[in-house]
Amino acid sequence: MSINSVNKLVNFVWFQAIWILAIFTQYDYWWAMLILLAGYFVVTSKPIEDALCMVIVVTLGGITDSVLTLLNVFAFSSFTLLLPIPFWLLALWAGFALTLGNSLNYLQGRPVICAVLGALSGPLSYWAGERFHAVSFGYSLPGTLAVLALVWAALFPLCMYIDEHCRKAMQRKSLSNAH
């Protein structure tokens, strides 16, 4: 197995650890999620690129989930002072953002595949969260999953686009600063 494959596998497992902590413990192990996120920046070779992409995707995800919450698509038992969603969900978005240029980077430039995968995996993730009582659905299960499928069919390719173009912009800036 190549070092690149090992890195992708580690990034995938790392994100699953954040997902499990967020969904099953929410605020009980917030410090562990924080350590995992901070640890990522200790080992990444491109911390500025990763941080910039993460901030943009977390902002997009936080706004999206806030709008869906305000539309009663789902509800959380806890929320932040500024958003109707909990901080642990923002940590989950941060972890997801840091998979885009790593374990999911093979999907760059494949928006149709991203849309299909988003339409399937996005709703399934929220449904799993609902089954484990991390979120409640405001509408019927089929209706909620249909809304989430539409949202994630657009959201996942958009996140990949953001990550790809954010990285390209940072690389151009780095090259221009080198001259």
Q: Which domain holds residue 164?
A: 3-178
The better pLDDT of the pair 169, 80 is held by: 169
How much is the average pLDDT of 10-17? 96
State how many domains the chain has.
Answer: 1
Contact between 137 and 74 (Cβ < 8 Å):
yes
User: What is the b/e burial string over 139-171, where b = at least 16 CB atoms within 10 angstroms of the residue's CB?
Assistant: eeeeebbebbbebbbbbbbbbbebbbebbeebe
Which three-class secondary structure state does DSSP give residue 85?
Answer: coil
Rounded-to-integer distance, Cα 179 and Cα 169, Å: 16
Question: Cα angle vertex 10, ends 6, 11, to 5°?
Answer: 115
pLDDT tops 70 at residue 13: yes
pTM as predicted: 0.92
